[in-house]
Amino acid sequence: MLNGAALTHTSIALYDALKAVGLPCVEVHLSNPEAREAYRAQSRIAAACVAKVSGFGGDSYVLALEGLVRWLNRRAAAPRG
């Protein structure tokens, strides 16, 4: 889980770091970035994340963790081949 704060909208380096580690990540925001200033509508890290949770205040972290655990469990249960 990652709350990139303002770096979400500006940092290619953060995107590169997420891609480099190769671990699943959920983008987390306390508020809804798309409902704020126009420049916040574009996330530089979204393409490196498996999902995004936003707009639920502190519960965004809980929801993101629950979603990430379910995502990992589905991947672990999927047939390989």
Give the pLDDT score at 36.
Answer: 87
Average pLDDT over residues 25-35: 93
% pLDDT > 90, the chain? 80
Which residue has better confidence, 37 or 13? 13
Residue 31 structural domain: 5-77
pLDDT surpasses 80 at 33: yes
Alpha-helical (H) ranges within the chain are: 12-21, 59-77
pTM for the whole structure:
0.89
CATH number at 54 reads 3.40.50.9100
Q: For residues 27 and 43, is the Cβ–Cβ distance under 8 A?
A: yes
Number of domains in the chain: 1
d(CA 60, CA 56): 5
3-state class of 19 per DSSP?
helix
Question: Which H or E run includes 29?
Answer: strand 26-29
